Amino acid sequence: MQVSEWGRRIGFLKKSLERCVLCPQMCCVDRTIDGKGFCRLGGGMVVNSALPHHGEEPPLSGRRGAGTIFFSSCNLKCVYCQNHQISHSPAGRPVSEEELAGIMLELQEMGCHNIEPVTPTPHLPGIMAALRIARERGLRLPLVFNCGGYEREKILRLVEGMVDIYLPDFKYGFVEAGRELSGASDYPRHALSALKEMVRQVGDTLEIEDGVARRGILVRHLVLPGMTDSSLAVLRAIREAVSPSVPLSLMAQYTPTPAVLGHPLLGRRVSRREYERVVNAAVEMGFEELYTQEVDERALTPDFARERPFNWEES
Ligand code: SF4
């Protein structure tokens, strides 16, 4: 992409902060003044932590880790969020575009296989500006767009050519679940149109070289307890509207947080039987590339109050 075109798109993204419609929440608030939208973020970027992450799917973590950058807050508010300490709060370390570019280059220096902003959407103007600076200074790693799937097709078109790997969630097959559990209206429709756009940009497979992902897409679905019908609706939607070639990561790691311990469905871990129902359905529907997990009884919730949030052995 020409530098002038990249600059034009970043300019458009920055301008959109004045009446923010970066995601389907469509808050239409002026974030350059304050953080009155759903995500409660102002115009600047806020980072919680940046570190090599070894707990992603094998082609993303590789041997030396994914270069994760955890941004504060989110455009969804999942009541069970495993990262709720950071995703439900706009607090964190404000960073400039220059500083974020430096963080990206540091992660490259540490040997990470990619740069993976987590929940990038509300911070998108700054992330894309930082990426441009980092590319000019020698960043060679692929950019992984790790998002909750609640995206606007029109905004995704603006990052075409800047994103190498899309890593979206597809959380729910039913509208009610998205509204009640994540504060998202019409989640399945938005997730599906976003997924189609992502596939248009990068294809419906994940290209892997020497065990490490270089380009493409990987769709994540967290199997929730008591909600396998929603999971099956997700699988059907992807197969029918997109392609069974899309690689899927079916996750069994759901762990109830204190906020949902009394919830009628979400207060327990997913059972082996529920998880296998979803995996078997994916196989029967013809999905060709599946990443699966063991159903594990241990608590696997990261703790962002610790220096190493994902080091389970320290629990
Ligand atoms: S990014 Fe934040 S303010 Fe903008 S539309 Fe989404 S939730 Fe609302």
Q: Flag whether pLDDT at 4 surpasses 90.
A: no
Class of domain 3-314: alpha beta
Ligand 1 binding pocket includes 20 (Cβ within 6 Å) = yes
pLDDT of residue 301: 61
Q: Flag whether pLDDT at 126 surpasses 50.
A: yes
Distance of alpha carbon 225 from the chain centroid: 21
The residue among 224 and 35 whose pLDDT is bigger is 224
pLDDT of residue 313: 45
The reported pTM is: 0.94
Q: How far is ligand 1, taken at its centre, from the CA of residue 149, in Å?
A: 14
The residue among 6 and 315 whose pLDDT is bigger is 6
Ligand 1 binding pocket includes 39 (Cβ within 6 Å) = yes
Smallest CA separation from ligand 1 atom 4, residue? 20
Q: Return the structure tokens found at 199.
A: 């596939």
Residues 205-261 have pLDDT tens digits of 999 999 999 999 999 999 999 999 999 999 999 999 999 999 999 999 999 999 999
Residues 56-108 have pLDDT tens digits of 999 999 999 999 999 999 999 999 999 888 888 898 999 999 999 999 999 99
pLDDT of residue 300: 58
Lowest mean pLDDT, pick from 39-43, 89-93, 161-165: 89-93
Helices (H), the chain: 3-16, 58-61, 84-87, 97-109, 124-136, 153-158, 175-182, 187-202, 228-241, 272-284
Residues 156-179: what's their mean pLDDT? 98
pLDDT of residue 3: 72
Which ligand 1 atom sits closest to the C-alpha of 31? 3
pLDDT category at 314 given cuts 50, 70, 90 is very low
- Cα separation, 235 vs 231, whole angstroms: 6
pLDDT of residue 296: 78
Identify the CA nearest to 169 among candidates 220, 206, 119.
Answer: 220
Question: Which one of 23, 32, 185 would you pick to mutate in the ligand 1 pocket, going by the greatest count of ligand atoms within 8 A of its CB?
Answer: 23
Which ligand 1 atom sits closest to the C-alpha of 23? 6
- Cα separation, 185 vs 196, whole angstroms: 19
What residues form DSSP beta bridges with 147? 168
Smallest CA separation from ligand 1 atom 6, residue? 23
Helices (H) and strands (E) in the chain, counts: 10, 11
Smallest CA separation from ligand 1 atom 2, residue? 39
Side-chain-side CA neighbours of residue 210 (13 Å)? 4
Q: Flag whether pLDDT at 39 surpasses 70.
A: yes
Question: Which one of 20, 21, 32 would you pick to mutate in the ligand 1 pocket, going by the greatest count of ligand atoms within 8 A of its CB?
Answer: 20
Q: Flag whether pLDDT at 174 surpasses 80.
A: yes
pLDDT category at 298 given cuts 50, 70, 90 is low
Ligand 1 binding pocket includes 25 (Cβ within 6 Å) = yes
pLDDT category at 315 given cuts 50, 70, 90 is very low
Look up residue 140 and give its amino acid.
R
pLDDT of residue 76: 98
CB 262 within 8 A of CB 289: no
- Cα separation, 174 vs 115, whole angstroms: 32
Average predicted confidence (pLDDT) for the chain: 94
Q: How far is ligand 1, taken at its centre, from the CA of residue 30, in Å?
A: 10
The residue among 26 and 306 whose pLDDT is bigger is 26
E strand or H helix at 91, and its extent? none
